[in-house]
Amino acid sequence: MKTKSLIITLVAFLGLCSCKQSKEEKAQQMIVEYFKDKVYHFDSYKPLQTKVDSLFVSLAFDKEAIYLTLDMLKLFQLKEEYTNKIEDAESSMDIWSPDGYSSTYSRGEYKRAKKERDENKRRLDKTKDRIKAQFDKIKTRQSKIKTGVFDGWKVYHRLKCLNGAGTFDLFDEHIFLCDKNFNVKFECSKKDFEFLSKILNTIAVSDDVPEFVEKLQDVIF
């Protein structure tokens, strides 16, 4: 009787073990749920590769730092737009610069260009202040996180699916940052993630915005 009871217990235990999902299986289940409403022609979706690695706390993997950095990048884009508008306005000022023979029209064009330049200079200065404030927020976040602590999973996934028109296959690569239970904290394309990681790693070793910009140029170019 004891032998029979032991066998039954072992069979039950092995059954439980066989039902336990591997990390890769949990990751694939998460990915399918995540992509259901995001992939073109989901019925054509085919997973090609899924790789799960342990995720340890660092600035580059921190959800709050990532979103703060994405907001800062938008501000850098605004800074570039205002800089270009200032240059265009100053070019117009050079063309319509008044002299003793200037017409009413040319003086009006000069005045319009000068106003546009001055307005964009004010916007540029304000944006620079916002960039500094955002950078400081990221550095504050860096000082609070405990690097090196296990924080979940980094999941790489390569897939194939039809394009929007359903005429040919698309191949794509994605990175998921997940908590310990494979709940998605952040997701983007592999290419974007690698670029974003370079930015965050450069912020981590920079003390201010000018130093960050200088170091980032070396990293990217």
Picking from 131, 136, 141, 123, the residue whose alpha carbon sits closest to that of residue 74 is: 131
pLDDT at residue 151, as a whole number? 95
Summarised one tens digit per residue, pLDDT across range 185-196 is: 999 999 999 999
pLDDT at residue 19, as a whole number? 58
Mean pLDDT of 193-210: 96
| Ranges assigned E (strand) in 126-168 | 150-162
Helix 63-95 × helix 190-204 angle, to 10°: 90
Mean pLDDT of 2-24: 54
pLDDT at residue 27, as a whole number? 96
What is the pLDDT confidence band of residue 16, given thresholds at 50, 70 and 90? Answer: very low
Highest mean pLDDT among 33-42, 166-175, 202-211: 202-211
Summarised one tens digit per residue, pLDDT across range 82-129 is: 999 999 999 999 999 998 888 999 999 999 999 999 999 999 999 999
Alpha carbons 139 and 156: distance in angstroms, whole number: 28
Residue 17 has pLDDT above 80, yes or no: no
Helix, strand and coil percent figures for the chain, each rounded to 5: 60, 20, 20
Residue 3 has pLDDT above 50, yes or no: no
Q: Give the pair of three-digit tokens for residue 103.
A: 């017409």
pLDDT at residue 1, as a whole number? 43
The whole-chain average pLDDT of the chain stands at 90
Give CA separation, 132 vs 20, 125, 129, 149, 163, in Å.
48, 11, 5, 29, 41
- Burial class from Cβ neighbours inside 10 Å (0-12, 13-18, 19+) for residue 64 reads middle
Which pTM does this prediction carry?
0.84
Mean pLDDT of 58-64: 96
